[in-house]
Amino acid sequence: MKTMMNLSEIFYSLQGEGPAVGRPAIFVRLSKCNRSCKGCDSPQKDRVEEVETSSVISRIQNYLKTYPNSRIIFTGGEPLLQPTAISEIMNGLPGQLFDIETNGTINNQEELFKRFNIMVISPKKDCFTSSKDRNEFITNWLKISDSGRKNIYFKFVVGNLPWAFLEAEIKDMFENTSLNPSRTWLMPAGDNNQKLSISGKNTWKVACRLGCNYSDRLHIRCDGK
Ligand code: SF4
């Protein structure tokens, strides 16, 4: 049976942010999102190519011939809108490492979650209507993690922008949920070097004060993709 999926792009690069920073990776960006955040940093999600999953598997295999040490990273948009396609791609590439970056708002695919090497949960602030709502979201993911998945990490964009998190909000998550700073990466806002050089310094200081991890956006700093 043919499974069609909505693909935005596939490309090879190094992971520029989060817990796997610097690792060679084949990025599979799935189209579309269930959110429409004000500060969306993935406008590529609106590009839609309808393809069979078998064709995506072939394209990944071609990259793997040249870059055999790559992990495969599903990103978006919101990749978990297409769990069947993701599962089929994983089935077609046995033995590979698969990571995913998700906004975390689709959390009912526990069997699929067990198959990822790393899950990076990266919601934007507009995903939440209140601090209670946000802390329940974190607690739900920690429950999923406690049921056998330890490689679930959180990444938050920090800054003085309406859609980015404030230091006080990150602190509130640490104080009012079981979220551990060691599983948390704070990332500066900014889509060019000039903005990052300012926001990066501020985010670095926040990460130092809160004792959590700092994530740069190395692909932007290094003119990567
Ligand atoms: S969840 Fe991510 S991809 Fe979706 S609209 Fe928000 S920022 Fe963009």
Residue nearest to atom 6 of ligand 1 (CA): 37
Which tens digit of pLDDT belongs to each residue from 45-89? 899 999 999 999 999 999 999 999 999 999 999 999 999 999 999
- Give residue 213 CA to ligand 1 midpoint distance, Å: 22
Instruction: Show the domains of the chain with their CATH numbers.
Output: 4-221 (3.20.20.70)
Residues 110, 147 contacting (CB under 8 angstroms)? yes
Q: Is residue 35 in contact with ligand 1, taking CB distance under 6 Å?
A: yes
Q: Is residue 45 in contact with ligand 1, taking CB distance under 6 Å?
A: yes
Atom of ligand 1 nearest to the CA of 163: 7
Q: Is residue 38 in contact with ligand 1, taking CB distance under 6 Å?
A: no
Atom of ligand 1 nearest to the CA of 77: 3
Q: Which of 103, 128, 217 to mutate to test the pocket of ligand 1 (most atoms within 8 A of CB)?
A: 103
pTM of the complete model: 0.96
Which tens digit of pLDDT belongs to each residue from 112-151? 999 999 999 999 998 999 999 999 999 999 999 876 667 8
Atom of ligand 1 nearest to the CA of 34: 4
